[in-house]
Structure 1
Amino acid sequence: MSEQVDINSTPEHAINASDQPTTVRPVMQPDNPYASTRGSITSKQLPAFDQDIINKYNRSGPRYTSYPTALEFSSIPEGLETKILQAREAHAPLSLYFHIPFCRHLCYYCACNKIITKKNSDAGDYLAYLIAEIKHKRGLLTPPEDGKKPLVKQLHFGGGTPTFLQDNELIQLWEFLQTQFEFLPEDQGDYSIEIDPRELSSETLKVLRTLGFNRVSLGVQDLDETVQIAVNRVHSAELIENVLNEARELGFHSINVDLIYGLPHQTPETFDKTIRRIIEMSPDRLSVFNYAHLPERFKAQRQIKEDDLPTPSDKFTMLGNTINTLTEAGYQYIGIDHFAKPDDELAVAQREGKLHRNFQGYTIMGDCDLLGFGVSSISQIANANSSYILQNHTDLQVYKDNIDAARNNPTIMPAVNVIKTSIKDRLREYVIMNLLCHDYMDFRDINQKFGIDAITYFIHEIQQLGEMQEDRLIDMDAAGIRVLPRGRLLGRNVAMVFDEYLDKKHKDRFSKVI
């Protein structure tokens, strides 16, 4: 990049930085500035692991599955969720999320609000509440002009353990959804589910594939038995491989494996064995998360002895080895813990500048409104000038009470928290998500989309990035800001500079890079 930006200067003919951005669009849109010009994976910039640099910038920050983050929730006024759903742009496609909070086993590393039970009757009761919520919300949506049902392009079952639902319950829920929504054919849509390989019937994967699910995510975490015992999640490598192979034979388009580094009794050597064994199984995607030990916040983690945790130095080594091993094996680093094969839709979308990020993580369906169903689920609904983030109650009984109350009084809705974003929020969200998805902030693109002069508007943020530029984490010039290979693992740190809500009151709520 040429023509360096003087971070202390103000461009001529620039609008005032306090001016409101707009959403006025130009008549002609330029070529996608976020599409990679680097070609195939062989020339894609790979993350550079530099322990000294990571140490320097390794501070807590959000994972930015939304902006503003969920920490900005406030109580929702009565009637607002109804108005939001009724005013939703009918032509906008939908992404549906279903939260199944049940697990049969307590994993000690868990940082989620899960319900441990072996009684399927609990899930059966929950299914009835889910269906009631779907009916209620669906009835408020304005149908598309063609009179068809609202179009769904993406669906995800998360939890908990979604396959806690029995096969017949999964069929019942899926068939009900077909009566409420229009789904893209499975070769065009993205329909995924998280599974615990230990909790599958002999027919579950076949049932899921027959219904139309085309992507699965397997919770593995580690293959070392000592580590598994310490976190109360024991399974064999053979079980994982068998499930993965069956999913591949059934024609699932993409298979993800979740791993965690930083667990008790892990060493760089044992975790390297896990990584290499998983590579042999050849999943399409991997999510390699950093374990954050916060027993004061998460009760389950109190079962883990702090003395059994790896040292920060060992965690650095695990991270570095993992990045090097996966990239050498041909996986593309997507960002924030995620890797994918170069022909996976996620990697292709990143190279084409079409990758997005929301509460479901990295996604290829960024044009969708997200509708969440179930306890603690989150929805994201946008219009031209603002967007809303809504959250259902996190307590199962309160969630059920709200659904029961709505049967007699339809003005009662399940959401209890809300964030209404401003156009300024939308601007900063756009910047943050492009930095995290595409390692780039294009000034001309932002100017055209939001009617501002980006350099002037963000002059204070640009000045704050000066040290990162000196450390070669980023490159800034008159065209924009690009995250360099040396800075890719610290993309969150770059994004945090543009976060107006980030302050000291939230620092203890976030995780570090490692």
Structure 2
Amino acid sequence: MHPLPTELLRRFDVAGPRYTSYPTADRFVEAFGPADLAGALAQRRGLSLPLSLYVHIPFCESLCYYCACNKIITRRHERGADYLDLLAREVDLYLEQLGPAQPVTQLHLGGGTPTFLSDAELETLMAMLRGTFQLVPGGECSIEVDPRTVDAQRLRRLRELGFNRISFGVQDFDPDVQQAVHRVQPAEQVFGLMDAARAIGFDSVNVDLIYGLPKQTPRSFARTLEQVACLRPDRIALYGYAHLPERFKPQRRILAADLPDAGGKLAMLTQALEAFREAGYVYIGMDHFALPGDALAVAQRQGRLHRNFQGYSTQPDCDLVGLGVSAISRVGATYSQNAKTLDDYRDHLGQGRLPVVRGLALTRDDLARRAVIMALMCQGQVLFESIDTAWLVDCREYFAAELEQLREHEALGLVRIDGDGLQVTATGWYVVRAIAMVFDRHLQADRNRASFSRIL
């Protein structure tokens, strides 16, 4: 890793998309509905192309003040069984559209808190999915885990159910920060779970961290980074906290005066980049780090890295079916999102239709730009000839304005442009979102970035 100079950190401390899709979800329209998704699904029926599955479990027992996820706070665990009934209805609708035994190479359970469900309920869910789809041996099967909801015995049960990758939400080990965000979990608990996960045989364990939280300081965050280095997870996801209380109601419980200033936040990012480099982690790109032997780092070295709504992936680019409240699907040249509230989700399913409330059919321009943006985000380069051949354009002419705009980035040492293509430098890799934003026609057109997190 090459350290990013402080002046560049400050210059690119701007808001921008994470590019888990292009166009981004804020461009979805309500004119796109269940019939549009059904049409896209019909085009792949009988083809046996691999699928990726995402299942959203919205329930949490307690509220984390920083959270911007779609969640339902409740201690009534009986709600899990009702939700599984709704998921079963949605799965049946996909079975009607796709036919049985569609091969699935990647499954991810997110939330909310997937481990809100009991072991028996998780077993029911996995049996449901296996009864409809064909979970391919050797595929990626991951689950997000709140450390406060599991012990070694539960981790062992998750492994028995087929999960081979887990992600622990840590955020910060400092007790004052944990109190400020209403998520108290002793470091000893996480260390114990990590030891258990290794003994049980999970292929990869990820730890989520957030910098820029209330009560955090460069000194306190340095202690957390030291603990994470000792913990030595296979992967680390490091996110900058985006304080948007006008959009996310829980964040109104965070006092703005408790937040670190811009200088402190950038200092924490610099600390983290250096700490992970010294600990031997590979910078995968855009907030993600992995040990050199982890499948994500191997995929990056081999040019097999991909990106979807769950972030970076080792799985080949394929259609994604999102199940549950607010879940997003990508099928063919379309995106679609399910109803965001449980009542709306239930109403759609009660009427026997896919619970889609908005989405987008991509244009040829969208597809070409998506190819460029994903090549930047995953491979760190765009080869003009490959884009020209795939999308029947002349890159140098079609993206002439964008390439001219990138000359400034080239002067800063972030990219290299020649007759064959565009290459992100080792330094530019830290601000790859800013480079990708140049090709975002929608963002460039209106410059409305208030709804996005900052890229650093």
Please say if residues 47 and 333 of structure 1, whose CA atoms lie closer than 8 Å, have aligned partners that are also in contact: no
Q: Could you tell me which residue of structure 2 aligns to residue 86 of structure 1?
A: 42
**CA displacement at 1:47 relative to structure 2:** 4.1
Structure 1 residues 82-91 or 54-63, which shifts more? 82-91
Alignment of 1:223 with 2:173, yes or no, is: yes
Question: Aligned letter for 1:391?
Answer: Q
Question: Aligned letter for 2:240?
Answer: N
Instruction: Show the 5 A alignment for 1:342-357.
Output: 342-357=292-307
State the Cα deviation string for residues 421-450 of structure 1 (Å, max 9, x = none). 122211111110111112111112222322
CA distance in 1 between partners of 2:34 and 2:165 (Å) = 37
Structure 1 residues 363-372 or 500-509, which shifts more? 500-509
* Aligned residue-pair number: 453
Q: Could you tell me which residue of structure 2 aligns to residue 73 of structure 1?
A: 28
CA distance in 2 between partners of 1:306 and 1:471 (Å) = 34
**Cα 1:242/1:198, change in 2 over 3 Å:** same
Q: Could you tell me which residue of structure 1 aligns to residue 357 of structure 2?
A: 416
Question: Aligned letter for 1:473?
Answer: L
**Cα 1:485/1:235, change in 2 over 3 Å:** same
Please say if residues 48 and 488 of structure 1, whose CA atoms lie closer than 8 Å, have aligned partners that are also in contact: no
Instruction: Show the 5 A alignment for 1:383-422.
Output: 387-406=333-352, 412-422=353-363
| Other structure's SS at 1:506 match | coil
**Cα 1:504/1:448, change in 2 over 3 Å:** closer
**Cα 1:315/1:71, change in 2 over 3 Å:** same
Alignment of 1:178 with 2:130, yes or no, is: yes
**Cα 1:195/1:77, change in 2 over 3 Å:** closer
| Other structure's SS at 1:74 match | coil
Please say if residues 93 and 367 of structure 1, whose CA atoms lie closer than 8 Å, have aligned partners that are also in contact: no
**Cα 1:269/1:78, change in 2 over 3 Å:** closer
Please say if residues 104 and 134 of structure 2, whose CA atoms lie closer than 8 Å, have aligned partners that are also in contact: yes
CA distance in 2 between partners of 1:428 and 1:322 (Å) = 32
Please say if residues 97 and 377 of structure 1, whose CA atoms lie closer than 8 Å, have aligned partners that are also in contact: yes
**CA displacement at 1:512 relative to structure 2:** 1.5
**CA displacement at 1:58 relative to structure 2:** 2.4
**CA displacement at 1:248 relative to structure 2:** 1.0
CA distance in 2 between partners of 1:505 and 1:126 (Å) = 39
Q: Could you tell me which residue of structure 2 aligns to residue 364 of structure 1?
A: 314
4+ residue runs over 6 A deviation? none
Alignment of 1:255 with 2:233, yes or no, is: no
Please say if residues 47 and 323 of structure 1, whose CA atoms lie closer than 8 Å, have aligned partners that are also in contact: no
Q: Could you tell me which residue of structure 1 aligns to residue 115 of structure 2?
A: 163
Percent of paired sites with the same residue:
45
CA distance in 1 between partners of 2:140 and 2:448 (Å) = 34
Q: Could you tell me which residue of structure 2 aligns to residue 441 of structure 1?
A: 382
Q: Could you tell me which residue of structure 2 aligns to residue 125 of structure 1?
A: 82
Please say if residues 47 and 487 of structure 1, whose CA atoms lie closer than 8 Å, have aligned partners that are also in contact: no
CA distance in 2 between partners of 1:444 and 1:484 (Å) = 20
Please give the TM-score of this superposition, normalised by the length of structure 2. Answer: 0.97
Please say if residues 47 and 489 of structure 1, whose CA atoms lie closer than 8 Å, have aligned partners that are also in contact: no
Q: Which of 439, 452, 459 pairs up with 2:400?
A: 459
CA distance in 1 between partners of 2:439 and 2:279 (Å) = 34
Query: Unpaired segments of 5 or more residues in structure 1?
Result: 1-45, 144-148, 407-411
**CA displacement at 1:348 relative to structure 2:** 0.7
CA distance in 2 between partners of 1:201 and 1:166 (Å) = 13
CA distance in 1 between partners of 2:316 and 2:23 (Å) = 17
**CA displacement at 1:78 relative to structure 2:** 5.4
**Cα 1:513/1:81, change in 2 over 3 Å:** closer
Please give the TM-score of this superposition, normalised by the length of structure 1. Answer: 0.86
Please say if residues 66 and 181 of structure 2, whose CA atoms lie closer than 8 Å, have aligned partners that are also in contact: yes
Question: Aligned letter for 1:132?
Answer: R
Q: Could you tell me which residue of structure 2 aligns to residue 292 of structure 1?
A: 242
| Other structure's SS at 1:296 match | coil
State the Cα deviation string for residues 316-373 of structure 1 (Å, max 9, x = none). 1110110011011110001111000111111111111110111111011133210010
Query: Unpaired segments of 5 or more residues in structure 2?
Result: none
Q: Which of 61, 85, 91 pairs up with 1:134?
A: 91
CA distance in 1 between partners of 2:67 and 2:2 (Å) = 28
| Other structure's SS at 2:78 match | helix
Q: Could you tell me which residue of structure 2 aligns to residue 21 of structure 1?
A: none
Instruction: Show the 5 A alignment for 1:17-56.
Output: 46-56=1-11
**CA displacement at 1:113 relative to structure 2:** 2.1
Q: Could you tell me which residue of structure 1 aligns to residue 105 of structure 2?
A: 153
**CA displacement at 1:80 relative to structure 2:** 2.1
Question: Aligned letter for 1:67?
Answer: Y
Question: Aligned letter for 1:135?
Answer: D
| Other structure's SS at 1:109 match | coil
Q: Which of 429, 442, 446 pairs up with 1:501?
A: 442
Higher relative contact order (CA 8 A, sep 6+): 1
CA distance in 1 between partners of 2:359 and 2:210 (Å) = 31
